[in-house]
Amino acid sequence: RALSRRFRKIDVVEPTVPDTIKILTGLKSRFEDFHGLRYTNDAIKSAVELADRYITDRKLPDKAIDVIDEAGAAQWLLPTSKRKKTVGQKDIEAVVAKIARIPPKQVSTDDAAALKSLETDLQRVVFGQNDAITALSAAIKLARAGLREPNKPIGSYLFTGPTGVGKTEVAKQLASIMGVEMLRFDMSEYMERHTVSRLIGAPPGYVGYDEGGLLTDGVDQHPHCVLLLDEIEKAHPDLFNILLQVMDNGTLTDANGRKVDFRNVILIMTTNAGASDASKNSIGFGRGKKDDEQEEALKRLFTPEFRNRLDATITFGGLTPEIIDRVVEKFILQLEVQLEDRNVSIEITKPARDWLPKGGF
């Protein structure tokens, strides 16, 4: 203590993105001489912007310097005939994708092309939910446009509607189209108080303290993912308190004191709350009350502070017989592809084809 009193504490803050670009511009010649190549100005700018966005466990300018250094070193691992003399933006994107452990097509300085066809791509694989898909696509585009607070997840959405209409399928296809991992947790496994600790890790003195949590470890390994909490109404109320922290601040601290970053996560929760009442046949003026009854069911289940932190509550409607026909056709094609790998062909007669939607609807 006597020694520490004689020193003045100086906090070195993380530089901003423009300042980091200036730092790397000054260091560029050193790395060019060492690696024997050239970095374009776009590569330097992309290294800083992508590192700031996708690499969350380190600080600027170190993580941006590591990116351009690794991009130059990667050329030395290639045969002499394939080595590049100039490192461009695409090379930087490949390095950042490797460091951040996400698919290369997901890493880009311009999300416009990827998001432009999001709604169309989802409607191509999920039938009969155009209104829900339009609302989800608009919410994601709004979030990725930067019109939201930077310390929150990309989006927090609640999918409501009857069972079997495509809520989980939309989440799966969204992860597939965006090229990220999907982490799925069935909330029927977390109905008791003691089971909630499995998500963030057991507290000190309890069995499994050193094992970590399923949720925190999963997001730490896949920081860019679609997090699906299926049938959220079955979860213990303590889980809702955990989600409040995630939706409001974008971080969650596990039992070991490690902060896990949720800022690049798309959080999707599904629920059947109110779907049974809405599906009942009503007469006369009762038809107009279905939406109100479903909204009241959500209000009874979720607290106001929980609902206020949601970016959107997206309602899925029931499927008509015409939509069921298209779903049957889709799964028949999938079955044919699976059987083709085993050198087996299938032929479905028209009576069997007509029975499938009627027997399964």
> Per-residue pLDDT tens for 156-166?
889 888 887 88
- The whole-angstrom separation of Cα 268 and Cα 281 is 29
Burial status of residue 317 (CB atoms within 10 A of its CB: 0-12, 13-18, 19 or more): middle
- The whole-angstrom separation of Cα 177 and Cα 70 is 28
| Structure tokens belonging to residue 212 | 């970590």
Average pLDDT over residues 26-50: 92
Second CATH level (architecture) for the domain 112-315:
3-Layer(aba) Sandwich (3.40)
Q: Is the model's pLDDT at 72 over the cut of 60?
A: yes
Average pLDDT over residues 346-359: 80
**Domain ranges, ordered by start, for the chain:** 17-106, 112-315, 321-360
What is the chain's length? 361
**pLDDT, position 275:** 61
Low-confidence winner among 45-59, 100-114, 135-149, 171-185 (lowest mean pLDDT): 100-114
Low-confidence winner among 89-98, 122-131, 235-244, 245-254 (lowest mean pLDDT): 122-131
Per-residue CA distances from 100 to 95, 104, 173, 264 (Å): 9, 10, 22, 11
Q: Which CATH number applies to 17-106?
A: 1.10.8.60
The pTM of the full predicted model, rounded to 2 decimals, is 0.75
Highest mean pLDDT out of 20-34, 220-234, 334-348? 20-34
Q: Where are the beta strands (DSSP E) in 134-283?
A: 155-160, 181-186, 225-230, 251-253, 259-261, 265-271
**pLDDT, position 302:** 86
b/e sequence 271-281, b meaning 16+ C-beta within 10 Å: bbbbbeebeee
**pLDDT, position 133:** 84
**pLDDT, position 324:** 77
pLDDT tier for residue 43 given thresholds of 50, 70 and 90: very high
What is the sign of the dihedral through the CA atoms of 342, 333, 159 and 264?
positive
pLDDT tier for residue 357 given thresholds of 50, 70 and 90: confident
Place of tokens 């038809």: 287
Highest mean pLDDT out of 35-39, 132-136, 178-182, 286-290? 35-39
> Is residue 275 within 8 Å of residue 318, measured between CB atoms?
no
pLDDT tier for residue 129 given thresholds of 50, 70 and 90: confident
DSSP single-letter state for residue 189: G
**pLDDT, position 282:** 46
Q: Is the model's pLDDT at 208 over the cut of 80?
A: no
Mean pLDDT value across the chain: 83
- Is-cis flag, bond preceding 104, omega within 30? no
User: 62 or 162, which is more confident?
Assistant: 62
Percent of the chain with pLDDT over 70: 89
pLDDT tier for residue 99 given thresholds of 50, 70 and 90: confident
The DSSP code sequence of 203-237 is PTTSTTGGG--HHHHHHHH-SSEEEEEETGGGS-H
Per-residue CA distances from 1 to 11, 106, 345 (Å): 19, 50, 80
Low-confidence winner among 12-21, 24-33, 344-353 (lowest mean pLDDT): 344-353
| Structure tokens belonging to residue 335 | 């079955």
Residues with Cβ within 8 Å of 100's Cβ and at least 6 positions away in sequence, in order, are 54, 55, 107, 223, 224
DSSP single-letter state for residue 312: E
Place of tokens 């007669």: 349
pLDDT tier for residue 347 given thresholds of 50, 70 and 90: confident
